Amino acid sequence: MTRPAQRLPTYLAWGTIWHRNFCVWRKIAPASLAGNFGEPLLYLLALGYGLGGFVGHIEGMSYLVFLATGIVSSSAMMSATFEATYSAYTRMAVQGTWDGITNAPIEIRDVVLGEVAWAATKSLFSAVAILAVAGALGVLDGWRALWVPPVVLLAGLCFASLAMVVTTAARSYDFFLFYTTLVITPMLLISGVFFPIESMPRAVRLLAEALPLSHAVGVVRPLMIGLRPPQPLLDCMVLAAYTAAGIAIASWRARRRLCV
């Protein structure tokens, strides 16, 4: 009688998933990295210099600086969300990669953790590219900007885990349009990326303060301009709470969906 294979420890299992996705991405890395530089540069030049000429200063900084410090967080959200929805869904439902992986001694929870970790890594690539562009434009100021990548990684984990909940519930690619239109786009517009939260009506402001993107922006923006964030511990705790809840729900839904 054949003994069942012993399950891999969590830290090895999810790392295996991460490494598998990294090896696949490495084949298209040059084009992916070029896109990470090109898109933020376009935003900063078109909006930062174009619209900034009409807007002037916001919260004591030029609109270019205000926009650049917001786009770092929003780019992390968009990159992590795309990877944890369309790409993860392809591996789960189209290619059958998850089915193959779960035949190995790996728990479905570890698959979810690996996918979330990889999506967060992609968000970090994107944010670092924007930081490089922002530094070239003279936006960065002070040593505190060195804390931005760890915060962005936490934000990437947060948005990736939330996206994985959607992915494990999706039945087709069209399902993601609802999430993007009804959740991601409104969050992008009201979370302080393009204009201050304080300028919005009270009801919208309260909603924005409950969303994870506003907490990411609340930490990243001051760090990039050399200031101490007003409530870094609270902001990071909110991002961590969203991450934990998202991973737990996504793991439960994936287990039910794949019956493992």
Q: What phi, psi does 174 have (nearest 5°)?
A: -60, -25
Record the pTM: 0.90
Nearest to 41 by CA among 139, 185, 152: 139
Average pLDDT over residues 98-124: 90
The vertex-203 CA angle with 200 and 205, nearest 5°, equals 45
- Eight-state DSSP code of residue 198: G
Is the CB of residue 213 less than 8 Å from the CB of residue 79?
A: no
Cα-based torsion angle of the residue sequence 18, 21, 24, 28 in order, rounded to the nearest 10 degrees:
-100
CA dist., res. 57 & res. 115, Å (int): 40
Q: What is the pLDDT of residues 206-222, one digit of tens each?
A: 999 999 999 999 999 99
- Eight-state DSSP code of residue 199: G
H/E stretch holding 245: helix 232-258
Token pair recorded at residue 211 = 């969303």
Using DSSP's 3-state secondary structure scheme, residue 178 falls into: helix
Nearest to 184 by CA among 193, 173, 195, 196: 193
Q: What is the pLDDT of residues 23-67, one digit of tens each?
A: 999 888 888 777 777 776 777 777 777 776 677 778 788 888 888
Query: Which of 108-117, 136-145, 167-176 shows the lowest mean pLDDT across its residues?
Result: 136-145
Could you give the percent of the chain with pLDDT greater than 90?
Answer: 55
Q: What is the pLDDT of residues 241-250, one digit of tens each?
A: 999 999 999 9
Q: What is the pLDDT of residue 11?
A: 60
